[in-house]
Amino acid sequence: MQWLHSDPSLLVCPNFLSDPYQASRASLVTPTITEVQAADLLQNVWVTTNNALCTQWQQQTIKDKHLQTEQQRLAEDAAKHHQQALWLDEETNKADEQKKNRSKHLPIPMCPCPDTTDD
């Protein structure tokens, strides 16, 4: 299936009785088919083709929305995993720092200072 770049429902059916379509009409004209009938035939073919393209366009836009939703979900998942990895790295660094400098991270006891004059 060919990828459509614009909405075919916005197109207007050309006037197949005009001069640019003379060659197309001439190839269809026979003793039993007039130029008007040939133009009608060309118009019917154009309308049928355009309707098929409109259906394809609708399916394509639905598929695009699904792809966009999936890409957004994947991007959010990646951001979440990245955030978790950063948090884990930060926690690991904190734990390593506490192991290195254990005395810096000891709790300070909440008791009165000893009085040296009491002895």
What residues have CB less than 8 Å from 9, skipping those under 6 apart?
A: 50, 54, 57
Kindly report, residue by residue over 51-76, the tens digit of the pLDDT: 999 999 999 999 999 999 999 999 99
Distance of CA 69 to the CA centre of its chain: 6
pTM greater than 0.95: no
In a domain, 100, yes or no: no
Residue 55 forms part of a structural domain: yes
Intra-chain end-to-end CA distance of the chain, in Å? 98
In a domain, 42, yes or no: yes
Full residue range of the structural domain in which residue 48 is found = 16-78
Q: How many domains does the chain have?
A: 1
Residue with the two structure tokens 């299936």? 1
Q: Does the residue 102 lie in any domain?
A: no
38 lies in some domain = yes
